[in-house]
Amino acid sequence: MDNILSILVFFPAIAGLLGFVVDKESARAYGITVAAIEFLLSLWLWFSFDTANAGMQFVEMIPLIPSFGISYYIGVDGISLFIILMATLMTLIGMVGMSTTKNIKNMIITLLFLEMTMVGVFVALDAIIFYLFWELSLVPMLYIIGAWGGPLRIYASVKFFLYTFTGSLIMLVGMLFMAYIYHNTTGIWSFAITDWYALVLPVNYQLWLFVAFFFGFAIKVPMFPFHTWLPYAHGQAPTIGSVILAAVLLKMGTYGFVRFSLPMFPDASVMMITPIAVLAIIMIIYTAMVAYAQKDIKQVIAYSSVSHMGIIMLGIFAMNAEGISGSIFQMLSHGIVSGALFMLVGVIYDRRHTKLMSEFGGLASVMPKYAVIFGIMLMASVGLPLTIGFVGEFLVLLGFYQVSPIMTILAGTSIIIGAIYMLAVYKKSFFGPVTNEANKTLKDLDAKETWSLVPLVLIVIWLGIYPKPVLEPIDNSVKAMLVFMDKKAITQEAKDMIRVSKSTEGGI
Partner 1 sequence: MENLVYIALFAPFVGSMFAALFGMSPKQTFVGIIASSLLFISFAASAVLAFHVYTTGTAIHVTMMEWISAGDLMIPFGFLVDQVSVTMMTVVTLVSTVVHIYSIGYMDHDKSFNRFFSYLSAFVFSMMILVMSDNFAGLFIGWEGVGVCSWLLIGFWYHKEDVAREKNPSISPSWAANEAFIVNRIAGLGMLIGIFIIYWNVGSLQYDVVFADLPNLSSSVLNAAALALFIGAMGKSAQFPLHTWLTDAMEGPTPVSALIHAATMVTAGVFLIIRANPIFSMTPEVSFFIAALGTFVAFFAASMALVNRDLKRIIAFSTLSQLGYMFAAAGLGAYWIALFHLAAHAFFKALLFLGAGNVMHAMDDELDIFKMGGLKKAMNWTYIYMGVASLALAGIPIFAGFFSKDAIIETAFNEGTYVLWAILVLTAGMTAFYSFRQVFLTFHGAKRYKDEIHPHEMYKFVLIAMAPLAILAVIAGFFMGGFQTFVTKLLPNYEMSHHTHELIVVLTAVVLVFAVGGIWLAYKKYANGLKRDEKLENSFLYKLLANQYYIPQFYEEFITKPYAMISEKMWKDIDMKIVDATVDGIAKFLYKSGDKARAMQTGNLSNYLNWMAVGGVLLLIVAAISAMLA
Contact with partner 1 (CB under 8 A) among 200, 293, 438, 458: 293
Between CA 213 and CA 216 the distance in angstroms is: 5
Contact with partner 1 (CB under 8 A) among 80, 137, 320, 477: 320
Cβ proximity to partner 1, 27 vs 379, nearer residue: 379
How would you class 236 by CB atoms within 10 Å of its CB: exposed for 0-12, middle for 13-18, buried for 19 or more? buried
Between CA 324 and CA 338 the distance in angstroms is: 20
State in angstroms the smallest separation of the CB of 485 from partner 1.
Answer: 14
> How many Cβ atoms are within 10 Å of 342's Cβ, its own excluded?
27
Our finding on whether 154 is near partner 1 (CB under 8 A) is: no
Cβ proximity to partner 1, 255 vs 329, nearer residue: 329
* x/- map, 40-79, partner 1, by CB under 8 A: ----------------------------------------
State in angstroms the smallest separation of the CB of 397 from partner 1.
Answer: 7
Cβ proximity to partner 1, 141 vs 471, nearer residue: 471
Q: Checking DSSP bridges between strand 70-76 and strand 57-65, what pairing results, if any?
A: antiparallel
Please name which of 144, 219, 147, 214 lies closest in space to residue 175, comparing C-alpha atoms: 214
**Angle in degrees, 0-180, between the axes of helices 78-97 and 104-123, rounded to the nearest 10:** 170
Cβ proximity to partner 1, 211 vs 424, nearer residue: 424
Residues with Cβ < 8 Å from 485, sequence gap 6 or more? 262, 263, 266, 269, 494, 498
In residues, how long is the chain? 508
Contact with partner 1 (CB under 8 A) among 63, 225, 275, 507: 225
Contact set for partner 1, span 360-399 (CB under 8 A):
362, 364-365, 368-369, 379, 382, 384-386, 390-391, 394-395, 397-399
Our finding on whether 282 is near partner 1 (CB under 8 A) is: no
Cβ(297)–Cβ(355) under 8 Å? yes
**Applying CB under 8 A, what is the total number of residues that bind partner 1?**
68
Between CA 194 and CA 177 the distance in angstroms is: 16
Cβ proximity to partner 1, 22 vs 277, nearer residue: 277
Contact with partner 1 (CB under 8 A) among 199, 431, 450, 462: 431
Contact set for partner 1, span 155-194 (CB under 8 A):
159, 162-163
State in angstroms the smallest separation of the CB of 411 from partner 1.
Answer: 10
Contact window for partner 1 (CB under 8 A) among 238-246, 252-260, 266-274, 288-296: 288-296
Between CA 348 and CA 370 the distance in angstroms is: 9
Taking phi first (over 0 means left), then psi (-120 to 50 degrees means alpha), and beta for anything else, what does residue 248 get?
A: alpha
Three-class secondary structure assignment of 14-54: HHHHHHHHCCCCCHHHHHHHHHHHHHHHHHHHHHHCCCCCC
Contact set for partner 1, span 468-497 (CB under 8 A):
468, 471-472, 474-475, 479
Cβ proximity to partner 1, 79 vs 107, nearer residue: 79
Contact set for partner 1, span 113-152 (CB under 8 A):
none
Between CA 62 and CA 60 the distance in angstroms is: 7
Cβ proximity to partner 1, 75 vs 361, nearer residue: 361
State in angstroms the smallest separation of the CB of 172 from partner 1.
Answer: 19
Contact with partner 1 (CB under 8 A) among 32, 203, 424, 461: 424
Three-class secondary structure assignment of 478-492: HHHHHHHHHHHCCCH
DSSP string for 218-232: HHHTTPTTS-THHHH
Residue 57, SS3 per DSSP: strand
Contact set for partner 1, span 202-221 (CB under 8 A):
none
State in angstroms the smallest separation of the CB of 450 from partner 1.
Answer: 13
State in angstroms the smallest separation of the CB of 264 from partner 1.
Answer: 22
Contact window for partner 1 (CB under 8 A) among 108-116, 136-144, 260-268, 359-367: 359-367
Contact with partner 1 (CB under 8 A) among 14, 465, 490, 508: 465
Contact with partner 1 (CB under 8 A) among 235, 238, 346, 467: 467
The two most distant CA atoms of the chain are separated, in Å, by 74
State in angstroms the smallest separation of the CB of 501 from partner 1.
Answer: 5
Contact with partner 1 (CB under 8 A) among 43, 154, 186, 427: 427
Contact window for partner 1 (CB under 8 A) among 80-88, 169-177, 290-298, 490-498: 290-298
| Structural element, H or E, at residue 72 | strand 70-76
Q: Which residues of 178-194 are buried (b: 16+ CB within 10 A; e: fewer)?
A: bbebbeeeeeebbbbbe
**Sign of the CA dihedral with 390 first, then 395, 400, and 406 last:** positive
Terminal CA-CA length for the chain:
28
| Structural element, H or E, at residue 151 | none
Cβ proximity to partner 1, 56 vs 386, nearer residue: 386
Cβ proximity to partner 1, 105 vs 479, nearer residue: 479
Residue 126, SS3 per DSSP: strand
Which residues contact partner 1 (rule: CB under 8 A)? 159, 162-163, 224-225, 227-229, 286, 289-290, 292-294, 320-322, 325-326, 329, 362, 364-365, 368-369, 379, 382, 384-386, 390-391, 394-395, 397-399, 401-402, 405, 408-409, 412-413, 415-416, 419-420, 423-424, 427, 430-434, 465-468, 471-472, 474-475, 479, 501-503
